[in-house]
C-alpha cells in the first residue's frame, strides 16, 4: 500500500498552460506539504496544510494555488506555467499534533515546462 | 523563520571510511531534527532523527549528535558502503500545532570503491 501517492509522475507542458498535480495520503496524518526540488537538489517548502487549513505559504507566486478538499488530499494547481517552474515537486505528510514526527514523501512529479 | 545550513555540499570518501555531515539551525524553538537520504531519482526517506531532549542517537552505522547550545547537529556514517552513496538532507522543525520542516541544502555523498 502506497503511503503518499502523487500523480502524475511526469508532466511536460508548454509555457502559459495550466496544470494540476494531485496528492493523497492514507496514513491518517493531519499535516500535508508541497516541496519544490530544483536542479541543485534543494528542497524548498512551498505550502503546509493542517487539517485542510493553509498554515504556511512560503512566498510562492500566486500562480500556485493549493487545494485541500479533505485532510487526506492536497492538490497543487499551477496557472500560466513558466520555464522556471520546471522542477520536481514532492508532496509529503506528517502527524504533528503536539510532537513532530517523520514526514513521508510521495514519489515526486517531474514538471518540465518547454 | 527557521534557516538550516548544511556542509559540505559534496563529500567523497573511501569505502570503509567514515563520513560526517554538519548542520546548523537558527530557530531556538526547533525541537525535532530528522535526516533524510535521497537516492538518485527517488523520494527522500528518513534514516534517523533526534529530538531536542537527546544529545546523541545511534542506529547501527549511523549516528546523530545534537548541540542545542550551539544550535548544530551532525550525521556520522561509519564503515561506509557503496549503497550509502546518495544525497543527504538535514532538517529542523519547530514545536507547534502545525509544523513546517525546513531542509538544509543537501550533501551529495559519494563512496569510492
Please give the average per-residue pLDDT across B13-42, as a whole number: 95
Residue B82 DSSP SS3: helix
pLDDT at position B95 = 62
Instruction: Report the candidate in A58, A37, A84 with the shortest Cα–Cα distance to residue B89.
Output: A37
| Model pLDDT, residue A54 | 83
Q: Is the pLDDT of residue A91 over 80?
A: yes
Any CB–CB contact under 8 A between B2 and chain A?
no
Contact A31 B49 (CB under 8 A): no
Contact A45 B93 (CB under 8 A): no
Say how many C-beta atoms besides its own lie within 10 A of residue B104's C-beta: 25
Q: Is A34 on the interface with B (CB under 8 A)?
A: no
DSSP, collapsed to helix, strand or coil, labels residue B84 as helix
Q: Residue B31: its chain A contacts at CB < 8 A?
A: 100
pLDDT bucket at B97, cuts 50 / 70 / 90: very low
CB A68 within 8 A of CB A77: no
Q: Among A13-17, A42-46, A102-106, B52-56, which is the least confidently predicted range?
A: B52-56
- Look at residues B91, B93, B113 and name the one whose alpha carbon lies nearest to residue B6: B91
Chain A residues within an 8 Å CB radius of B89:
43
pLDDT digits (tens, 9 = 90+) for B54-75: 899 999 999 999 999 999 999 9
Cβ-Cβ contacts under 8 Å for A16 (sequence gap 6 or more): A80, A81
Confidence of residue A56 (pLDDT cuts 50, 70, 90): confident
Q: Which three cell numbers stand for residue B102?
A: 525546513
- Pick B54 or A72 by higher pLDDT: A72
Which residue of chain A is at minimal alpha-carbon distance from B102? A45
Q: Residue A42 gets which letter from DSSP?
A: -
Residues 6+ apart with CB under 8 A from B72: B22, B23, B24, B25, B66
Question: Could you say which of B32, B42, B99 has the minimum Cβ distance to residue A31?
Answer: B99
Q: How many CB atoms lie within 10 A of CB B22?
A: 17
The pLDDT score that the predictor gives to residue A2 is 72
pLDDT digits (tens, 9 = 90+) for A28-43: 998 899 999 998 888 9
Report how far residue A98's alpha carbon sits from residue A107's, in angstroms, rounded to the nearest whole number.
Answer: 27
Q: Which residue has the cell 496544470?
A: A19
- Give the model confidence (pLDDT) of A7-28 as tens digits: 999 999 999 999 999 999 999 9
C-alpha distance from A86 to closest chain B C-alpha (Å): 16
Query: Residue B60: helix, strand or coil by DSSP?
Result: coil
Cell numbers linked to B32: 525535532
Q: Transcribe B22-46 into DSSP letters.
A: EEEE--TTEEEEEEEEE-TTS--EE
Q: Is the pLDDT of residue B98 over 70?
A: no
Amino acid at each position: 500500500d502506497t503511503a503518499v501517492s502523487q500523480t502524475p509522475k511526469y508532466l511536460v507542458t508548454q509555457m502559459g498552460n495550466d496544470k494540476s498535480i494531485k496528492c493523497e495520503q492514507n496514513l491518517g496524518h493531519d499535516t500535508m506539504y508541497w516541496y519544490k526540488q530544483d536542479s541543485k537538489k534543494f528542497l524548498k517548502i512551498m505550502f503546509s496544510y493542517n487539517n485542510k487549513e493553509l498554515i504556511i505559504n512560503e512566498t510562492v507566486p500566486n500562480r500556485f494555488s493549493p487545494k485541500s478538499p479533505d485532510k487526506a488530499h492536497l492538490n497543487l494547481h499551477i496557472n500560466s506555467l513558466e520555464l522556471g517552474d520546471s522542477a520536481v515537486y514532492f508532496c509529503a505528510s506528517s502527524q504533528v499534533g503536539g510532537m513532530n514526527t517523520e514526514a513521508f514523501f510521495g514519489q515526486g512529479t517531474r514538471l518540465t515546462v518547454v | 523563520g527557521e534557516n538550516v545550513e548544511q556542509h559540505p555540499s559534496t563529500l567523497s570518501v573511501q569505502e570503509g571510511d567514515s563520513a560526517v555531515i554538519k548542520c546548523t539551525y537558527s530557530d531556538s524553538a526547533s525541537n525535532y531534527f530528522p535526516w533524510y537520504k535521497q537516492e538518485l531519482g527517488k523520494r527522500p526517506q528518513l534514516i534517523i532523527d533526534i529530538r531536542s531532549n537527546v544529545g546523541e542517537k545511534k542506529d547501527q552505522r549511523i549516528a546523530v549528535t545534537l548541540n542545542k547550545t550551539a544550535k548544530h547537529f551532525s550525521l556520522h556514517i561509519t564503515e561506509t558502503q557503496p549503497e550509502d552513496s546518495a544525497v543527504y538532507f538535514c532538517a529542523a522543525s519547530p514545536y507547534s500545532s502545525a509544523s513546517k520542516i525546513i531542509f538544509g541544502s543537501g550533501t551529495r555523498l559519494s563512496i569510492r570503491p
